[in-house]
Amino acid sequence: MAFYESIKLEKGMYGVPGKSFTDVLESLDPSENYVGSNLEELDAYQRQLKRFSIRVGGVESDRIEKFFQTADSAALFPEYVNRAVRQGMEMANLLPNLVATTTNINSMDYRTITSNPGTEEKTLKPVAEGAAIPQTVIKTQDHLVKLHKRGRMLVASYEALRFQKLDLFTVTLRQIGAYIARAQLGDAVDVLLYGDDGKSPAGAIETASGKPAYGDMVNLWGELAPYQLNTVLASTATTKDILSITEFKDANAGLNFQGTGKLATPLGANLLHMPNLEDKQIIGLDKTCALEMVQAGGVQTDYDKLIDRQLERACISTIAGFTKIFNGAVKVLNYKA
């Protein structure tokens, strides 16, 4: 019997501070012990699925009840739910295109650091001998980062789900993950526009024209300096207006969109389509230094309810918030109808 087949699994493995269920399994059954074997490609959790012959995907996927054949195998079910939800979040997630850094915390209180250098401080002028070297002041913010809990409640009985295939259930869980990702994206955009304290709006550029012109986009690019315009956010109608600008009508860009679904890159920036964004508003930012994501743990589930087959009120949630790093790294172009 291989060692991974003798590990005792229990719900208490989900309650280890600072560690996920998979982290706990890896500490007991390190993957490096399997280098060169036929289990080399599996992590500690996947080896446990193999131990109980549970197939979670594909045409031959098992039914949900397969997880509950023993008390040990039942302990694997919450991690399966976590992974499926995370997959959905990753598939629908635009946040990596906006977030410069992600900070994981173990509490509900967090103050980030801030530095708002002026024009003089951004220019590194020669320093004469004996003269004082210019300073960059870094300090903690005077307010806490607002964290939002986003999630869904599973409302289904075990009897209704036990005979369903895991592959189908995974699709449903991925959709929950997609909903969470879209909600977090909305939180991120609100912070870009108004600041995490609601009192630090992004610098606005107004244009009286009914449609954005090439000159307006160049103005947005210039106003963002010395930061780089590498990401542009726009609603459906606004994206159409941007792509209708004569200077952005490129045959190669059109072929690329038809072949890959990727939008054109105005002025070298990554254009992101956000249907829920307000029309006639173009957000330009430097993704390398505009936004910090703060999250308290990853995907959380009511693991005890899931293990005990009490799916009627099992919650799946995440806790995260956002804060600006440099206020000047985001600008908004508004145009009128």
Q: Is the pLDDT of residue 255 over 50?
A: no
Cα dist from 202 to 94, 174, 175, 194, 228, whole Å: 20, 33, 32, 6, 15
Q: Is the pLDDT of residue 297 over 90?
A: no
Q: 134 or 8: which carries more pLDDT confidence? A: 8
pTM: 0.82
Q: Is the pLDDT of residue 125 over 90?
A: no
Domains observed in the chain? 80-113+145-337 (3.30.2320.10)
Cβ within 8 Å of residue 303, ≥6 positions away? 11, 14, 21, 78
Q: 247 or 180: which carries more pLDDT confidence? A: 180
Going by their DSSP bridges, the two strands 231-234 and 270-273 should be labelled as parallel
Per the document, the length of the chain is: 337
Average pLDDT over every residue of 236-246: 90
Q: pLDDT above 70 covers what percent of the chain? A: 89
Q: 105 or 252: which carries more pLDDT confidence? A: 105
Average pLDDT over every residue of 253-274: 67
Q: What is the mean pLDDT of the chain?
A: 86
Q: Is the pLDDT of residue 284 over 60?
A: yes
| Block residue for tokens 């979670």 | 56
Helix, strand, coil percentages (3-state) for the chain, rounded to 5, are 40, 20, 40
> 64-73: long-range contacts (C-beta < 8 A, 24 or more apart)?
64/161, 64/162, 64/163, 64/164, 64/165, 64/166, 64/169, 65/162, 65/163, 66/166, 68/162, 68/309, 71/9, 71/10, 72/8, 72/9, 72/10, 73/9
Q: Is the pLDDT of residue 44 over 90?
A: yes
Q: Is the pLDDT of residue 178 over 90?
A: yes
For residue 291, the model assigns a pLDDT of 94
For residue 116, the model assigns a pLDDT of 66
Distance in angstroms (rounded) separating the CA atoms of residues 19 and 64: 26
For residue 250, the model assigns a pLDDT of 62
Distance in angstroms (rounded) separating the CA atoms of residues 248 and 254: 10
Nearest to 335, CA basis, from 254, 253, 214: 214
Amino acid letter, 126? P
Q: Is the pLDDT of residue 122 over 60?
A: no
Cα dist from 291 to 30, 141, 305, whole Å: 35, 14, 36
Instruction: Name the token pair of 139.
Output: 């300090």
| Block residue for tokens 């990853």 | 298
For residue 288, the model assigns a pLDDT of 94
Average pLDDT over every residue of 78-91: 93
Average pLDDT over every residue of 112-138: 66
Average pLDDT over every residue of 113-125: 62
